[in-house]
Amino acid sequence: MLNSSREHARRAGERGQAALMVTFGTVFLFGVLGLVMDVGYGYYIKQVAQASADSAALAGAMMAQSSGATCGTTSLCQADTACAADPVNPPVTNFDAACLYAKVNGFSTTANRRTIISAGTDRPPSNSGVTTSYWLTSTATQDMPLSFLRVLGFNTATITAQATGGIVPSVGAGGCIWVLDKTLNSAFNEGGSGHVQANCGIFVNSVSTSALNVQGSAILNVSAMKVVGGAILSNNATVSPIPITGASAVDDPFAKLPAPSFGGCDYMNAQPHGTVTLSPGVYCGGIKVSAGSTITFESGLYVLNGGGMMVSSNNATLTGSGVTFYNTSSGYTFGSIAITGGATVDLSAPRSGTYKGVLFFQDRSITSSATNSIGGGANQTYTGSLYMPTGSLNYVGGSQTNALTTVLIVNNLNISGDAYLQRDETGDLTGIPQTVVALVQ
């Protein structure tokens, strides 16, 4: 009888322990389930918040860039400012733009959601290692009620995402001459008595000890010179500032620009004479301008499929706005661009579209020894980029008083005569902006 009572008590104790274990196990199981569900939902909220913060930071910085990035009534510079539930639309300030983009990208201001904007100049507090001309930080926060994790005593979690958009120098900031050959002696060469001045810089990628060569009584006065190899300054040459040698190579600023696609010939061996207006198209055999001719190029793309362009007459006139000349060869013998110094020229590149700022574009696959020659002279104006990444260019220049918004991007360059180049502050004329907006945090 006694043994039976003891057995009954033992079994009751085991049932109690089992019930206790089941209870604890159930709580643990629900805790794990709650953790999985709440963490998963929290991750989703974090992604939404980050996308909102990124878009707000970029939108605010872009509007600041378009208005000059100067602290004022449009580009605000102030500490933490909360976005309203209904941001101003259309935006008046760049904070309005940031808040509007935050809302459009899924982060409206509500009782448990908020977006805080702050902005200023120089170094952003969120990333003191980068210098900007302007920065804007967006911080998105949401108080997320928890569900199953309440079993473990956790009621809410705070999700935060932050992004900073900054106005930073572009890859081509400050430059107007790129010499891309990596090994050539005198890849940049200036001789004679020419005077080159520019409020922009020169980049020379050649590793040669004579990569940059200025000789004779030539004068070279630019904002900066960076040379991978060395520089030779001979005779009475005057150079300012002193070139920075041993510099890092720079990238081709148009490396990602796609080459134009084209079909059959629209024109064959064009030799316009007299007063003629030419239309965009494929010019097989190129264009040769006759003496005394006045040629007007309509806006658009001119594909020179073989033959190049030759203007050898001193009394020829060329004009064209919004034009791009693509020099290539497919089934025809390649020809260079050769424009004599005595011609009157006024050509400008497109200000929008794929080939924004590109006036001449030599096919990258062309490695012909034919040298391009731009005669220059006081009566010649080229507005845009002369992009000849695998081509040689003899650039005679223009004058010391007529500043040209011209960028030279070539394999190697020889300059003689006078040349006066100026920086393209907006990038609209040459396709190379001085600044870009990017996420810096």
Note the pLDDT tens digit of each residue in 51-87: 999 999 999 999 999 888 889 999 999 999 999 999 9
Answer for the pair 345, 381: CB distance below 8 angstroms, yes or no. Answer: yes
Residue 330 has a CB neighbour count (10 Å cut-off) of 13
Peptide bond into 241 cis (omega under 30): yes
pLDDT of residue 406: 93
Looking at 123, 138, 169, which one is the last position of a domain? 169
Domain co-membership, 360 together with 216: yes
Burial grade of 110 (CB within 10 A; 0-12, 13-18, 19 or more): exposed
Query: How far is the C-alpha of 347 from the C-alpha of 359, rounded, in Å?
Result: 8
Domain co-membership, 294 together with 164: no
Look at residue 42 and tell me whether its pLDDT is greater than 90.
Answer: no
pLDDT of residue 435: 82
Domain co-membership, 225 together with 355: yes
Domain co-membership, 205 together with 336: yes
Lowest mean pLDDT among 103-107, 242-246, 277-281: 103-107
Domain co-membership, 97 together with 39: yes
Look at residue 20 and tell me whether its pLDDT is greater than 80.
Answer: no
Look at residue 323 and tell me whether its pLDDT is greater than 50.
Answer: yes
Domain co-membership, 153 together with 189: no
Domain co-membership, 200 together with 235: yes
pLDDT of residue 149: 58
Pairing of strands 81-82, 267-270: unpaired
pLDDT of residue 413: 96
What is the rounded average pLDDT of the residues 299-328?
95
Look at residue 403 and tell me whether its pLDDT is greater than 70.
Answer: yes
DSSP characters over 270-291: E---SEEEE-SEEEEEEEEEPT
Domain co-membership, 76 together with 109: yes
The single-letter code of the amino acid at 320 is G
**Distance between start and end Cα atoms, the chain:** 79
Collapsing DSSP to helix, strand or coil, 371 comes out as coil
Looking at 119, 138, 169, which one is the last position of a domain? 169
- Predicted TM-score (pTM) of the model is 0.74
Domain co-membership, 82 together with 21: yes
Query: How far is the C-alpha of 419 from the C-alpha of 171, rounded, in Å?
Result: 24
Q: 94 CB contacts (<8 Å, ≥6 apart)?
A: 59, 60, 61, 63, 64, 67, 74, 75, 76, 119, 136
Q: 148 CB contacts (<8 Å, ≥6 apart)?
A: 30, 31, 33, 34, 35, 37, 38
Q: Please give the distance of CA 344 from its chain centroid, rounded to a whole number.
A: 33
Collapsing DSSP to helix, strand or coil, 429 comes out as coil
Name residue, tokens 């930073």.
Answer: 168
Domain co-membership, 152 together with 213: no
More confident residue, 218 or 36: 218
pLDDT of residue 22: 47
Q: Residue 31's domain spans which residues? A: 2-169
Among candidates 46, 61, 53, which has minimal Cα distance to 105? 53
What is the rounded average pLDDT of the residues 396-408?
80
> What's the pLDDT band for 362 if we cut at 50, 70, 90?
very high
- Sign of dihedral through CA atoms 240, 245, 250, 254? positive
Look at residue 2 and tell me whether its pLDDT is greater than 50.
Answer: no
Task: State the helix-helix crossing angle for 2-66 and 94-104, rounded to 10 degrees.
Answer: 140
Domain co-membership, 301 together with 364: yes
The total number of structural domains in the chain stands at 2
Query: How far is the C-alpha of 119 from the C-alpha of 210, rounded, in Å?
Result: 46
pLDDT digits (tens, 9 = 90+) for 160-202: 999 999 998 876 677 899 999 999 999 999 988 888 899 999 9
Looking at 169, 184, 205, which one is the last position of a domain? 169
Domain co-membership, 322 together with 338: yes
